[in-house]
Amino acid sequence: MVIVMEHNATSEQVEHVVDKLVEKGFDVHRSTGVDYTVLGAVGAKIVSTRDFAAMSGVREAHRISEPYKLASRAFHPEGSRVRIGDVEFGGDEVVIMAGPCTIESEAQCEEVAAGVAEAGARVMRGGAFKPRTSPYSFQGHGEKGLRIIRKAADRHGLLVISEVMESAQIPLAHDYIDIIQIGTRNMQNYNLLRDIGKSGIPALLKRGMSATITDLLLASEYIMAEGNHNVLLCERGIRTFENLTRNTLDLSAVPVVKQISHLPIIVDPSHAVAIRNRVAPLSQAAVAVGADGLLIEVHQDPENALCDGAQSLYVSQFSELMDSMRRIAQAVGKNIAEPTLA
Amino acid sequence: MVIVMEHNATSEQVEHVVDKLVEKGFDVHRSTGVDYTVLGAVGAKIVSTRDFAAMSGVREAHRISEPYKLASRAFHPEGSRVRIGDVEFGGDEVVIMAGPCTIESEAQCEEVAAGVAEAGARVMRGGAFKPRTSPYSFQGHGEKGLRIIRKAADRHGLLVISEVMESAQIPLAHDYIDIIQIGTRNMQNYNLLRDIGKSGIPALLKRGMSATITDLLLASEYIMAEGNHNVLLCERGIRTFENLTRNTLDLSAVPVVKQISHLPIIVDPSHAVAIRNRVAPLSQAAVAVGADGLLIEVHQDPENALCDGAQSLYVSQFSELMDSMRRIAQAVGKNIAEPTLA
Amino acid sequence: MVIVMEHNATSEQVEHVVDKLVEKGFDVHRSTGVDYTVLGAVGAKIVSTRDFAAMSGVREAHRISEPYKLASRAFHPEGSRVRIGDVEFGGDEVVIMAGPCTIESEAQCEEVAAGVAEAGARVMRGGAFKPRTSPYSFQGHGEKGLRIIRKAADRHGLLVISEVMESAQIPLAHDYIDIIQIGTRNMQNYNLLRDIGKSGIPALLKRGMSATITDLLLASEYIMAEGNHNVLLCERGIRTFENLTRNTLDLSAVPVVKQISHLPIIVDPSHAVAIRNRVAPLSQAAVAVGADGLLIEVHQDPENALCDGAQSLYVSQFSELMDSMRRIAQAVGKNIAEPTLA
Amino acid sequence: MVIVMEHNATSEQVEHVVDKLVEKGFDVHRSTGVDYTVLGAVGAKIVSTRDFAAMSGVREAHRISEPYKLASRAFHPEGSRVRIGDVEFGGDEVVIMAGPCTIESEAQCEEVAAGVAEAGARVMRGGAFKPRTSPYSFQGHGEKGLRIIRKAADRHGLLVISEVMESAQIPLAHDYIDIIQIGTRNMQNYNLLRDIGKSGIPALLKRGMSATITDLLLASEYIMAEGNHNVLLCERGIRTFENLTRNTLDLSAVPVVKQISHLPIIVDPSHAVAIRNRVAPLSQAAVAVGADGLLIEVHQDPENALCDGAQSLYVSQFSELMDSMRRIAQAVGKNIAEPTLA
């Protein structure tokens, strides 16, 4: 931490801050300039800069190390690879996850699973528990839905990713899910994060609508602190003043995360752009910017989808998009992860 | 809902949209202009405007009624009064809730309770379960903390407000808490909202950091839909680009909520401004803008607080602030709710 | 400036940064910790932290002094008072400025001037040059308008504040205007700022829609650097994701500016809330939070106003608001500036 | 426009709104539902929805046509191609513009011009008039700088793009500049926009830091309304709460603009990401998302650049980036515009 004292801070005030720092276990280095005295506090502990910023005579306090540890690239410089089944995230292959917003029926899941597997997806997405902004919207089929998606995915060699909304649903995840999705609204539901950490099940953690990248890494720390290091981060759009898109997809987050964290970073373009014909260009951009995977909504009959039909691709559109993503991946020295032959 | 067709939409496209609207139970009125055809859909059902916006030939779809019902002032024009013990929110009295960020010890709680009761607060705040951005921060004393705050509050004739982070903690709320606080990060934790709705315990629902006012009202609907209408809304700052404050306190939310909802609206200035000497001016402003209550952090020894010391008022500062808030309340034709004599 | 080196920075990289700092005129203090080496650079010069952040081996660079000087409270601790005619901003009196969005006619200006003067305003506002988002909106009456407002204001003992949009209009300001208003969209129009600085005419500088408070102070520095220290800052709402208000009025900016700058800070509630019945509560809040003045839109016939009628108060509403603001000012130990008797 | 009346609006209130609409030249269609009466107003005129929203009995007013005309794709469905010299924007070729933030010297310009031309850029960028947030930063070499960049560009077959900050600089643009850059801070400097419109010189209009896409199109309308249709729009990052990047590059703006406007859309990744090693991934993403061109900062010696060195690419990095952009352009069915052989 670096503490800048006020222009007119008294020496008593400076001493008081130094004492407090030493008490907290820091080594303190003092620099006295014409205008300001600066204290450099070096130590292992994470403390609140605001508590120091509020002390009398203090002008500003800056953190000089990240507030997270396990998620930091500083201590795991080469980048993590997260292997789930025969799929690996974080290497030279871009993993495509696709499927409907919500699991509606066996016929639907079979049709989508067949379509996306044929096109080259490795993981099937589909929601059984749906967090909806309105209590009057459809809330998902629960366990019955999970059973359906599991069967459809198995028939086509796909892994399953699905959202878990509360700790009580984690046992179901053990039975049916390969990757637990933690939704935007639950990014800071700390009890849930801890319990998923304890479960050991791989997790995809979506960035909160108003979470900074630092917040996202701190949230991932809750999972990893319980010993579960199979964490995928996911950029899905942040809230801004722009209103022609639902959220603003922050693709800069991909190179930033690559630089400061070792965890794989996935992009979900569907929720941010919210309108079908914008999903393909943003998916292409996500591959070009270096994402380790994508999460894309695909539906066999979007006009009659129970939820998010407007942003779901037709199966045929998804198949075309896979082709253009393959070309782009190659253009940047990577590959789309392809199904292994049986 | 109002649907605007594209300039060059075909009559087949228009018919297709009309059919879909009728199928969903709407009466449809069509207006044909030089440039655009506009469809007005009138009906009771809440549907996704985006699903219509994505149909071919459609240019835009606007909702014309609010997406919430029970929270709307349209159907409860005179404003709700929420009575808890002998305290009433939503009338001509402004209710002050005060106390430490976190419950630390019996001695602390007693000292703060005595101080804030003496100054005129009616409700004591204090956290036993703390949602912390970092897993390495102090996470609260749990049930032991609740027992401490309950006793201290009772000794001084105060009600207790405290945060509940997951459904499993609700039974404890029945034992120790008068008002459940639902934190910013849980505003869209729908399972928790529903379970608090079922509990019947009065709830203060904090606006999410990036939640619009409409989102806040939709979230309150989850609680009320279970039959619990004792809901207090709480403005506590939203996330913006400004970085000299932690969050931007949106005081405009107070008159806006008063206009569109019947629920009382509380202001928490402490978390947004984050620095002690800014709490008093913003508290004064909250009374002047018409808030039904305030939630203020007060600590007997802020420099050594376990959390949020930087933004906690000294007891003596709080007492002075109470006086200026009394004068402002009178200036706008209201009163600060005062303790009733035993 | 404080520079934190990467965990694995080489000693050559550290030396290279030190050399660069010394070359730029800084004294450098080095602190070596277990994880990080930290360099404290103390000196008078303002340099770009980003240039250092991009050097190899550097992890972060933080500025430790403000990037502005003349606007800083550090070097003018007691707060500036800006006297214009017989009105003083920055003391114990809150100055109310009121009038129509745009100058429409002699009859209109006379009626509004009479009404707001009678109610107790000291300055009349009214636009002759209008920056409109759309080129198809009314753009103002120009010099003719200025002549009209000057006469109406003089008849009622009011000063005149009006917007200037380009340097070529400054000579007109000399003839007709007491306070030049610099609009939100021109906050970073540096040529205009400099020319207004050279003119010596007092200026009210509106915060840009997406300007941080630091940006606002930097912009004021352009005016003051030319020798014109008669600068009033103005908070008028910032852009956020909330869409039930046009902008989010950031009242926290008032205590923040008071703390870091010596310049008076004015609040314009009308443009942010955009709807008439929200102007009064926010005006009251602005007085309670400590604003040095307010800028309020008032119109004699808002339903037929040429612009911004929706947010303009009726003269009678303004008069009532003046009364409640008087009571609030007294509640916080201040007064509304009242007209001096002739 | 669509106007929704309050639940309890009286028939007098409805009639009053209808009369006002008819008076403004609209045809009005009325739909009466159980809860709300809805008025559809169809007509050519652009009016303020807020003025209607503020009328008594009115609940909401929505615009149903865009507030801009000349920039709308509705009336120019096939997309505009802007030809400048032998370079065309808006077709199947992606035009790369590159060069230093600021023009420093003849030697510098020659070295950069040679490097970027060799790598395949078609347009050279470089600032002679610099809008700087701080008045203490370097402000540019003015006309001398323009003369230098013109010569260097001519020697290497490049066009010149450079910023103009005020109308008085437009005559210099006639002499030295092929494309006038209108900076972020001047996006709503309406006098400047009009004068550039009158000049007929092609213009690149940068999106304001807090401008919606609709605002950007409205601003372009100021230029086109004067008869100058050679307008390029430019996405360069918007202000959000994220603080690990300077601005948030909004790549979704590219497909959105393509859908609602016919104007070419350019991406400037350098200013948003602010750090050199993030420029290449975002540039690749911009090509993949469908941008018509890019504006990239390149410097022959970034560590010693007078401004923005931290975000400037080395010439050799730019050359490699050109290769990867060529591959991505082909992957999405386009090409990078290549120099024509002499």
Cβ within 8 Å of C, D 168-187? 185-186
Please, what is the end-to-end C-alpha distance for chain D in angstroms?
55
The shortest C-alpha distance from C127 to chain A (Å) reads 27
- Count residue pairs from A and B with Cβ separation < 8 A: 114
Closest CA to B25 of B55, B2, B47: B47
Q: Are C24 and C43 in contact (CB under 8 A)?
A: yes
The alpha carbon of residue D35 and the mean position of all alpha carbons in its chain are separated, in whole angstroms, by 43
A-contacting chains (≥3 CB pairs under 8 Å): B, C, D
Whole-number average pLDDT of chain B: 90
Q: Are A180 and A159 in contact (CB under 8 A)?
A: no
Interface-testing mutation among A20, A220, A239, with chain B (most B C-beta atoms within 10 A):
A239
Cβ within 8 Å of A, B 69-128? none
Q: Which of A109-123, B298-312, C206-220, D226-240 has the lowest mean pLDDT?
A: B298-312
Cβ within 8 Å of A, B 276-305? 276, 302-303, 305
The shortest C-alpha distance from A206 to chain B (Å) reads 14
> A54-63, A129-138, A243-252 — which one is most confidently predicted on average?
A243-252
Say whether B252 and C212 touch across the interface (CB within 8 A): no
CA distance A37 to A100: 58
Helices (H) and strands (E) in chain B, counts: 11, 16
> Is residue C342 pLDDT above 60, yes or no?
no
The shortest C-alpha distance from D277 to chain C (Å) reads 9
Say whether C32 and A43 touch across the interface (CB within 8 A): no
Stretch (H or E) spanning A260: helix A253-260
Residue A84: per-residue pLDDT = 96
Cβ within 8 Å of A, D 209-238? 210, 212-214, 238
Q: Are C4 and C55 in contact (CB under 8 A)?
A: no
Q: Which residue has the higher pLDDT, C305 or D43?
A: C305
Residue D207: per-residue pLDDT = 97
For domain A2-62, the CATH superfamily is: Phospho-2-dehydro-3-deoxyheptonate aldolase; domain 1 (3.30.70.1140)
Residue A65: pLDDT band (50, 70, 90) is low
Considering only the beta carbons, identify the residue of B222, B239, B274 that sits closest to A50.
B274
Which percentage of chain A shows pLDDT scores above 70?
A: 95
Residue D22: per-residue pLDDT = 85
Q: Where are the beta strands (DSSP E) in chain D?
A: 2-5, 27-32, 37-42, 58-62, 82-84, 87-89, 93-99, 123-125, 159-163, 179-182, 203-206, 231-235, 265-267, 293-299, 313-314, 335-336
Entry pTM: 0.88
Please, what is the end-to-end C-alpha distance for chain C in angstroms?
55
CA angle D271, D276, D280 (to 5 degrees): 90
Say whether B324 and C331 touch across the interface (CB within 8 A): yes
Q: Are C204 and C230 in contact (CB under 8 A)?
A: no
Cβ within 8 Å of B, A 29-68? 46, 48, 50-51, 53-55, 67-68
CA distance A150 to A169: 16
Q: Are C206 and C187 in contact (CB under 8 A)?
A: yes
Residue in chain A nearest C240 by alpha carbon: A241
> Is residue C65 pLDDT above 70, yes or no?
no
CA distance A9 to C159: 41
- Furthest C-alpha separation in chain D: 76
> pLDDT for B44-85, tens place per residue?
566 777 778 878 888 878 776 677 888 988 768 889 999 999
Residue A46: pLDDT band (50, 70, 90) is low
Residue D61: per-residue pLDDT = 83
Residue with tokens 């209710």: B95
Contacts of D167 in chain C (CB under 8 A): 166
Structure tokens at D324: 């990867």
Contacts of A32 in chain C (CB under 8 A): 42
Q: What are phi and psi of A195, to 5 degrees?
A: -70, -35
Q: Which residue has the higher pLDDT, A23 or A152?
A: A152
Residue D2: per-residue pLDDT = 80
Residue C22: per-residue pLDDT = 85
Contacts of B165 in chain A (CB under 8 A): 190-191
Residue with tokens 């909806």: A132
Structure tokens at B133: 């951005």
> pLDDT for B200-214, tens place per residue?
999 999 999 989 999
Residue in chain C nearest D238 by alpha carbon: C210
Say whether A260 and D238 touch across the interface (CB within 8 A): no
> A27-41, A45-59, A129-143, C328-342 — which one is most confidently predicted on average?
C328-342
> Is residue A99 pLDDT above 90, yes or no?
yes
The shortest C-alpha distance from B293 to chain A (Å) reads 26
- Mean pLDDT of all residues in A66-90: 89
> Is residue C5 pLDDT above 90, yes or no?
no
Residue C133: pLDDT band (50, 70, 90) is low
Which percentage of chain B shows pLDDT scores above 70?
A: 95
Residue B264: per-residue pLDDT = 98
Torsion sign across C-alpha atoms A82, A85, A91, A96: negative
Provide the pairing of β-strand D159-163 with A203-206.
unpaired
Residue C33: per-residue pLDDT = 66
Q: Are B228 and B203 in contact (CB under 8 A)?
A: yes
* Alpha helices, DSSP H, located in chain C: 11-23, 49-53, 106-119, 143-155, 170-176, 190-199, 213-224, 253-260, 269-273, 279-289, 315-331
Say whether A131 and B190 touch across the interface (CB within 8 A): yes
Query: What is the side-by-side strand order in the sheet with C27-32?
Result: C27-32, C37-42, C2-5, C58-62
> Is residue C203 pLDDT above 90, yes or no?
yes
CA distance B220 to B207: 10
The alpha carbon of residue D194 and the mean position of all alpha carbons in its chain are separated, in whole angstroms, by 16
Considering only the beta carbons, identify the residue of D68, D134, D210 that sits closest to C209.
D210
> pLDDT for D255-309, tens place per residue?
999 999 999 999 999 988 888 889 999 999 999 999 999 999 999 988 877 777 7
Say whether C65 and A34 touch across the interface (CB within 8 A): no
Q: Which of A171-185, A320-334, C7-21, C228-242 has the lowest mean pLDDT?
A: C7-21
Q: Which of A228-232, A264-268, C71-75, D336-340 has the lowest mean pLDDT?
A: C71-75
Which percentage of chain B shows pLDDT scores above 90?
A: 64
Q: Which of A29-33, A87-91, A104-108 has the lowest mean pLDDT?
A: A29-33
User: Domain locations in chain C?
Assistant: 2-62, 82-331
Residue B133: pLDDT band (50, 70, 90) is low
Residue C319: per-residue pLDDT = 97
The shortest C-alpha distance from B252 to chain C (Å) reads 7
> pLDDT for B243-293, tens place per residue?
889 999 999 999 999 999 999 999 999 988 888 889 999 999 999 999 999
CA separation, residue C280 to residues B235, C321, C336 (Å): 19, 6, 15
Say whether A29 and C36 touch across the interface (CB within 8 A): no
Residue A34: per-residue pLDDT = 63
Say whether D255 and A272 touch across the interface (CB within 8 A): no
Residue B62: per-residue pLDDT = 77
> Is residue D342 pLDDT above 60, yes or no?
no
Which percentage of chain D shows pLDDT scores above 70?
A: 95
Residue D34: per-residue pLDDT = 63
Residue B135: per-residue pLDDT = 73
Q: What is the CA radius of gyration of chain A?
A: 23
The shortest C-alpha distance from B178 to chain C (Å) reads 30
Residue with tokens 């003349």: C70
Task: Give chain A's length.
Answer: 342
Backbone region of residue D99 per phi and psi (left: phi > 0; alpha: psi in -120 to 50; beta: other values):
left
> pLDDT for B97-106, tens place per residue?
999 999 999 9
Provide the pairing of β-strand D179-182 with D159-163.
parallel
In the CATH scheme, what is the code of domain C82-331? 3.20.20.70
Say whether B254 and C281 touch across the interface (CB within 8 A): yes
Whole-number average pLDDT of chain D: 90
Q: Which residue has the higher pLDDT, C62 or B86?
A: B86
- Mean pLDDT of all residues in D176-195: 94
Considering only the beta carbons, identify the residue of D8, D29, D239 that sits closest to B29.
D29
> pLDDT for D123-158, tens place per residue?
999 999 877 667 777 778 889 999 999 999 999 999
Residue in chain A nearest C28 by alpha carbon: A31
Task: List beta partners, residue A47.
Answer: none
Say whether D44 and B34 touch across the interface (CB within 8 A): yes
DSSP C50-90: HHHHTSTTEEEEE--S-S-STTBGGGSTT---EEETTEEES
Given this chain, do its domains C2-62 and C82-331 carry the same CATH topology? no
